[in-house]
Amino acid sequence: MTQVEAPAWTPMSAEEREAFDRDGYIIVPSVLSESEIEAGRAAILGYYEKAKAEGKLSATGALHQLSPIAYVPELAFLLDHPKAFKYIWSLLGWNIHVYHSHIDVHPQLHEKQKEWWHWHQDGGRQNREIETDPRPMLSVKLAYWFSDVSETGRGNFTVLPGSHKTNWLPGPPSRGVPWPQPEGAVQITANPGDLVVFDRRIWHARSDNYSDITRVGAFFGYTPRWIAIRDEVADLPSRPEWDGKTEVQKQLLGGFGKGDGDHQWGHYPESTPLYGALKERGLLDSSIPALIP
């Protein structure tokens, strides 16, 4: 298990919150230590080689693996890394879990790709069936970088700043139609160990990687526990490594509580690990009171 340095828990700053609300994302440098970068990168690339041997890569040799903790349990330290997780509980509170996560490996492309439209918001049917404008945030995602994307054209996470409060973008009439990038799109540059925190509503895509640097990243999306988990993690509590998880990690992986709706709705905060951790440190958000039984 990767040992994580444990600094004191502190909420995100007012300046960070203002930037997040304005732009829909923030970049946090040097979140991971050198040893954490090395451990995470080795674990992801080790799984990549396994997937390659099993013929599970895309036609371009890329990997997009959902539910990574089920396949690469060594990455569990990223779930509640104190320098990153602070942004999640600051924005979403204590009654949360990871509902959607993936690891990505994108080696160099050797042929020019068509300019397909890959722009999207996270959340699937939430973006079709919730009628408000703008739609509610509902989830926040952490993107950890294990490769050098300090220059554009390296498979960079690409965003349209401020678009998290825009429900629709003018795009192609259907998938499979080449279409130019939206005006104002920005390729995020970052170093290994840096973190991007983003609102699931921000319109985003990935740039093509024509560099000789393989793109390696890990993404974890958090949401209230009353929203279903997309990841396939139901069998994790039966695995040997489960006992090594912290109580908060067990909550985040959907394995805490009796599986009843009332617990997921937040009716029992005192028996919810993250609530206890925040209460112990005096970090509960008093503006969001507990439910009355």
SS3 17: helix
Give the burial class of 124: count Cβ atoms within 10 A of its Cβ; 0-12 exposed, 13-18 middle, 19 or more buried. exposed
Provide the pLDDT for residue 290. Answer: 76
Provide the pLDDT for residue 291. Answer: 78
pLDDT tens digits in sequence order for the chain, 293 residues long = 676 666 789 999 999 999 999 999 999 999 999 999 999 999 999 999 999 999 999 999 999 999 999 999 999 999 999 999 999 999 999 999 999 999 999 999 998 887 778 899 999 999 999 999 999 999 999 999 999 999 999 999 999 999 999 999 998 988 778 888 899 999 999 999 999 999 999 999 999 999 999 999 999 999 999 999 999 999 999 999 999 999 999 999 998 766 678 999 999 999 999 999 999 999 998 888 877 65
Q: Both tokens of residue 199?
A: 């609102």
Determine contact, residues 139/98, Cβ cutoff 8 Å. Answer: no
How would you label 76-85 residue by residue, b for 16+ Cβ within 10 Å and e otherwise? Answer: bbbbbbebbb
The helices-and-strands tally (H runs, E runs) of the chain is 8, 9
The DSSP letter of residue 234 is: T
Determine contact, residues 190/145, Cβ cutoff 8 Å. Answer: yes
Domains and CATH numbers, the chain: 14-284 (2.60.120.620)
pTM, 2 dp: 0.95
Residue among 215, 224, 219 nearest 196 (CA): 219
